[in-house]
Structure 1
């Protein structure tokens, strides 16, 4: 009788362990949680020159990886992160300079911290003059 109890407990413990391993394995593969992805951002400077920055990240949003890597600096606003500096250059607000985020060559419809990193899309930060 005691051997059956030990066998049942051992089987239950093994089943629970296998389920836990299955759950963790599923989390690491699906839905973008923890999934590594590559993102390239092209920075267009005031003189028109461009420079590409490529990062491998598990972040889901563009702003998070660019802040973490030190490419951008900004301040939080009611609309999200307002980018003030990119690649060491701070936009001169007095000259109406600002950093424009582009996705696939078009002005982004979302802020940098709410723009998802998606495979096959190109991202840019363009120093723009004039409001």
Structure 2
């Protein structure tokens, strides 16, 4: 019985070691292949499309690396939301609130016509990017 118990413990220890190595490998791969912010001067556009489908555009020349920073620099653009460990969940843009609990509405974020892969705090900004902030309802 002692050899079975010892053999079982060795398998558990080996399993834990393999798991730790795999986690480390995935962390390294993520840091190598994730999108990185671009440093230096960039020209970008931020478009806001409200519930009435009216579009307001903001042209920026900026050195920021992430979308939230660009939004903070855009003259006339206002936004607010709830902060969490994952960054800001935008609820209000230019004094218009999208409340998912009321009517299934939310602010959708796009870069160059595609859904953003990251939240506004970690979405990289590159020269020539066009960001769209669109009032969206869950049925669209």
Cα pair 2:47 2:131 within 8 Å, conserved: yes
Compared with structure 1, are the counterparts of its residues 37 and 120 closer, same or farther at alpha carbon in structure 2 (3 Å cutoff)?
closer
- Change beyond 3 A, Cα 1:47–1:124: same
**Greater relative contact order (Cα 8 A, min sep 6): structure 1 or 2?**
2
2:44 maps to 39
Deviations 1:51-110 (A, max 9, x none): 111222221101122135453212212322111111221213311211010011111111
TM-score scaled by length of structure 1 = 0.66
Q: Which residue of 2 aligns with 1:120?
A: 128
Q: Is the 8 A contact 2:44 2:61 kept in 1?
A: yes
Select which of 50, 54, 64 maps to 1:59: 64
Q: Name 1:87's counterpart in structure 2.
A: 94
The separation in 2 between residues aligned to 1:65 and 1:51, in whole angstroms, is: 15
CA drift of 1:40 comes to 0.8
Contact 1:67 1:73 in 2 (8 A): no
SS of 1:63 mapped into structure 2: helix
Point out where structure 2 has 5 or more consecutive residues left out of the alignment: 1-37
Out of 75, 80, 83, the position equivalent to 1:76 is: 83
Return 5+ residue gaps in structure 1 as ranges.
1-30
